[in-house]
Structure 1
Amino acid sequence: MPVLVVNVDHVATLRQARRGIEPEPVTAAYMAEMAGATGIIVHLREDRRHIQDRDVELIKQTCNTRLHLEMAATDEMQGIALKIEPEMVCLVPEKRQELTTEGGLNCIGREAELKDFLAPIHEKGIRSSLFIDADPKQIEAAIATGTEFIEIHTGHYADAKEYDNRRVELEKILKSISLAKDIGLKVNLGHGLNYRNILNFKDVPGISEYSIGHAIMARAIYLGLDRAVRDMAELIRTFAD
């Protein structure tokens, strides 16, 4: 069965708005875990705009579920990953001016570079994923890096306003899932998924994890974090393996 992995970056964003001590991402991670999340995601950005190093360390030390560390492919982040030893690292592109990750990592022409970058991470027994667009060429390049997983960027699908555009983006994702499975990659989905648009994946086999943060935290403002996570986890439990 596919599982839910909860991103707690937005809790840290609220904390950093006041440079205070609350709300605490570590507490949010624990509550999400208790409510049914099978993993916690944090994106440690180079500019430390939300998640801080101590957040990553404390979540790794205190939570019983899997820790997924999203990060850029830099020497600094590689060193942190090797020190913290999360369950998985997910390589993502970063631009300083973006509000959130706007697109997938470009793997084409970087296969050898990314393979070398991931080698010491894999040697530590840490799994890896590449956050990429629903593009056959990117998927074929990804497998050459030695990664086990890809996370398909669902943001273009989630952001599409018109039905026809949304359907086109959905078809790209569905074809990418099938291609990735055929060539031996495991597939996660993430970015912009919510309690409505996720339903289009209900009968789609081959999805390992759903990475969701913003929609859960938005719902939590009204209903509480426990209820928001439980609602999403129960929804995903009805999906196909």
Structure 2
Amino acid sequence: MTLTLGVNIDHIATIRQARRTVEPDPVAAAVLAELAGADGITAHLREDRRHIQDRDVRLLRQTVRTHLNLEMAATEEMAAIALDIKPDYITLVPERREEVTTEGGLDIVGQIGRIGEVVDKLQSANIPVSLFIDAEPAQIEASASLRAKFIELHTGKYADAKDDLSRKHELDFLAAGCEQALKAGLRVNAGHGLTYWNVYPVACLPGMEELNIGHTIISRAALVGIERAVREMKMAIRGEY
């Protein structure tokens, strides 16, 4: 199986919302990312609408030609939007209003009833669900018990590691989680904090299916353009960067 790249376009919308104007348009960014080789487009419709807006999601559904991964909190409001929009799949993520970015994985174990209801509702409508979790054995086991199609392993601790030993420890943790998930019948994606310089070891994990990457690509795109930024990330994933 060839590892694929999902490009998260949230921060195109962050730039737009800084001035509450109409540009840059994340829908246009998605088109250019796909032309450059993105295998999917990811967008997070947050409850506070700090970047991606409802209008963006509706237009992305009509525009994206690869696959659209909608990240969202496990709430009734978001489930209703997903059932209306029908993205190619949903990733349920934790969300706190005061956080700058997602700070960790979902606690499936502690919220198994509530999250299970959302998973059932969405998957009954033929929308596959991915659960964004830390690579902890109990969380993986709970995710499998909910019959989610995917998990997305939170790579933030790996990305933030300060030295080689810590980084190897976190990579081994992700590898063990990936192996456990595959044995439980889950498909495995990963993301958060991955950059051009640290992505390749995660891309090499056996069974890894897709990496969802946003901030580093959009940061580079501000300087060199989104098409070049996406192409260079595809190279980094292949170990050619």
TM-score where L is the length of structure 1: 0.96
- The alignment yields a C-alpha RMSD, in angstroms, of 1.3
Shift of 1:65: 1.4
Shift of 1:237: 4.8
AA aligned to 2:6 is V
Partner residue, 1:10: 11
Partner residue, 2:34: 33
Matches within 5 A, 1:136-147: 136-147=137-148
Deviations 1:147-186 (A, max 9, x none): 0100000011101112222221111111101111111111
Shift of 1:202: 4.3
Give yes or no for the alignment of 1:108 onto 2:109: yes
Change beyond 3 A, Cα 1:202–1:77 = closer
Q: What is the alpha-carbon distance in structure 2 between the residues aligned to residue 201 and residue 25 of structure 1?
A: 27
Structure 2 unaligned regions, length at least 5: none
Partner residue, 2:234: 233
Q: What is the alpha-carbon distance in structure 2 between the residues aligned to residue 58 and residue 22 of structure 1?
A: 15
Partner residue, 1:208: 209
Q: What is the alpha-carbon distance in structure 2 between the residues aligned to residue 232 and residue 53 of structure 1?
A: 28
Indicate the SS of the match to 2:12: helix
AA aligned to 1:73 is A
- Conservation of the 8 A alpha-carbon contact between 2:133 and 2:154: yes
Indicate the SS of the match to 2:135: coil
Shift of 1:57: 0.3
- Conservation of the 8 A alpha-carbon contact between 1:111 and 1:144: no
Q: What is the alpha-carbon distance in structure 1 between the residues aligned to residue 200 and residue 85 of structure 2?
A: 35
Shift of 1:53: 0.2
Indicate the SS of the match to 2:71: strand
Give yes or no for the alignment of 1:62 onto 2:88: no
Q: What is the alpha-carbon distance in structure 1 between the residues aligned to residue 33 and residue 204 of structure 2?
A: 25
Change beyond 3 A, Cα 1:63–1:203 = closer
Change beyond 3 A, Cα 1:202–1:8 = closer
Aligned residues with identical type, % of pairs: 52
Deviations 1:182-208 (A, max 9, x none): 111110010011111112134322011
Q: What is the alpha-carbon distance in structure 1 between the residues aligned to residue 196 and residue 226 of structure 2?
A: 14
Shift of 1:114: 1.9
Residues matched between the structures, number: 239
Q: What is the alpha-carbon distance in structure 2 between the residues aligned to residue 203 and residue 154 of structure 1?
A: 14
- Conservation of the 8 A alpha-carbon contact between 1:5 and 1:39: yes
Indicate the SS of the match to 2:42: strand
Change beyond 3 A, Cα 1:34–1:97 = same
Q: What is the alpha-carbon distance in structure 1 between the residues aligned to residue 203 and residue 50 of structure 2?
A: 34
- Conservation of the 8 A alpha-carbon contact between 2:199 and 2:236: no
